[in-house]
Amino acid sequence: MDSSEFQRALDASEELRITVTGRKTGREHSTPVWFVREGKAILLLPVSGSKNQWYKNVLKSNRIKISSGKLSLELSARPITDPKKVATVADKFRKKHGAADVKKYYSVFDAAVELTLP
């Protein structure tokens, strides 16, 4: 699978499934999440910020598997904690998913994650 195929799958989806390895158990945990794609960058915003469990797991391993439909990739995760950069990600989420829904589902804006497609 090439990167453009995965990009097309992402463009046709509102959410993707992420799988992370538990920092304590070592077991895989999967959850659906909203995302924003800009070119080869995929931005994730944890609903409860840095207290979110999948975010804490990513901090430990720096690896995350993303799936869209039948396509999957394992990527390196780059945590974002700079308040201005996190605010920019949150604004992009508001633009894509709607300000009312972001306000409804997201409670803390102190962390985000950037993934880069190959």
Closest CA to 68 of 104, 14, 2, 4: 14
**Reading across the β-sheet that carries 71-80, which strands appear in turn?**
28-34, 15-21, 63-68, 71-80, 112-116, 41-44, 36-38
Residue at token pair 């920092």: 23
Asked if pLDDT for residue 76 goes beyond 70, the answer is yes
pTM of the model: 0.92
Encode pLDDT of 12-68 as tens digits.
788 999 999 999 999 999 999 999 999 889 999 999 999 999 999 999 989 999 998
**pLDDT, mean of residues 102-116:** 96
Q: What pLDDT, on the 0 to 100 scale, is given for residue 68? A: 86
* pLDDT tier at 2, thresholds 50, 70, 90: low
Which region holds residue 98: left if phi is over 0, alpha if psi is between -120 and 50, else beta? left
Residue-level pLDDT at 12:
77
Average pLDDT of the chain to the nearest whole number: 92
- Looking at the predicted structure, is the pLDDT value of residue 74 above 60? yes
Task: Examine the pLDDT at 3 and tell me if it is beyond 90.
Answer: no
- Give the C-alpha separation, 86 to 46, whole Å: 11
**Considering only CA atoms, which of 27, 99, 20 is closest in space to residue 65?**
20
Output the six-digit token pair for 10.
């992402």
- Specify which residues 30 forms β-bridges with: 19
In terms of DSSP bridges, do strands 63-68 and 41-44 run parallel, antiparallel, or are they unpaired? unpaired
Task: For the chain, give every domain's residue range.
Answer: 3-116
CATH of domain 3-116: 2.30.110.10
